[in-house]
Every structure is written in C-alpha cells, then in structure tokens.
Amino acid sequence: KTEIASLDNQLKLYMAIRQVISENADTQKYSDGSKKIEIPAAEVEQEWKELFKDSKIKHESLKGDSCSYSAFIYDKKTKTYIQEPNPDHCTSRNEAIIAVVNDTVVNGNTIEIYENFGYVESNYNLETASISYNIYKDMAKTEKVATTTEFGITPYLEQLSTYKYTFEKNGNTYSFVKVELAQ
C-alpha cells in the first residue's frame, strides 16, 4: 500500500495530466489542429488537488512517450505543459513509459483501476540500421523483462508490474484514495 504523500511527483503529474485529457477527450481544447498539445498548469493543478487533496504540486517536465501522451515539457514562462509528438511516428525516441489499463472493478462506492507499466528503452544499431527495445519493470531499470524488435509492452503484461488505483465516490465525483502495487 502506498500513501499519497509518498507517491513520486512524476507519477502524480502523469495521473493529473491524464485526468485533464480524459475529461476533454477530443483534446481539441488544447490543440490548434496540429498534434501539439498545450495544457495550462492551472488545469493540471486543479486535477492534482482533486486527486491528491492537500498534496503540493511540483511543476516539472514529465518524462515519457509523446505517442502515448505521457511526455510533457513544462514551460515555466507560460506556465503550460506542452507535448509535441515525434514527426517520425515515434520511432526515434530513446525512452518511454507505457501504461496499459487491463481491468476496472466497480464495487459499491469504490472504483479500482488496474494498470500495467513498462519502461521501454530503445537502442539503435548503426551497423545494422536496426532498433531494439529493452523493456523494464521500472524507471530505475532494475529488472529487464525482455529485449525485442517490436515496440510495445502488450506481449509482456504478465511480467510487468500491475498497479491498483483506488477511487472513492464523494457525491457525484470520485476522489483518489491510494495506489498500490498489485502484482
């Protein structure tokens, strides 16, 4: 079980930004028609407060993969989170955090969301002009799950960490309660 206060800032930012995007699923609110996404920090702060209550937000760039909407650069001047997708269909990235929701359980006033996380590092071989991907259970790269030539974590979900996010209904909305390693 993990207490909210001990959650990594990157994970909290990821959750708050995902919440902003999910509430505006068309993302046209944040885009000028290009694939670039700009989200005002104030909206991320609002979701942060709703998800984590009294937690203090630390604005910083979010590491991850722009193809899966998990990488954003924080612009201090404009107080905006900005994401510009890779024009090469995301093939030139070095590292990415990939998350896959694999189950949602509703039990009374509680919703539990189960999500697998993988940290993917790409390696480009100049001699063979090929790319391989190392898939890890965590960002610290303590446990490698696989090396593959196909980008993605779906074939390795059972070997990756599964996190359970618990939300509790308060009136007409749900509030974040906790996150814990489920597997």
17 has pLDDT over 60: yes
Q: What is the pLDDT of residue 178?
A: 87
CA 80 to CA 111: how far, in whole Å? 30
Q: Give the pLDDT band (50/70/90) at residue 92.
A: very low
> What is the bridge-based pairing of β-strands 95-107 and 110-125?
antiparallel
Q: What is the pLDDT of residue 32?
A: 62
CA 153 to CA 119: how far, in whole Å? 9
Write the pLDDT tens digit of every residue in 117-150. 888 888 877 777 778 889 998 878 889 999 998 8
162 has pLDDT over 50: yes
Q: What is the pLDDT of residue 76?
A: 94
CA 102 to CA 36: how far, in whole Å? 28
The pTM assigned to this predicted structure is: 0.50
Q: What is the pLDDT of residue 183?
A: 72
CB 113 within 8 A of CB 134: no
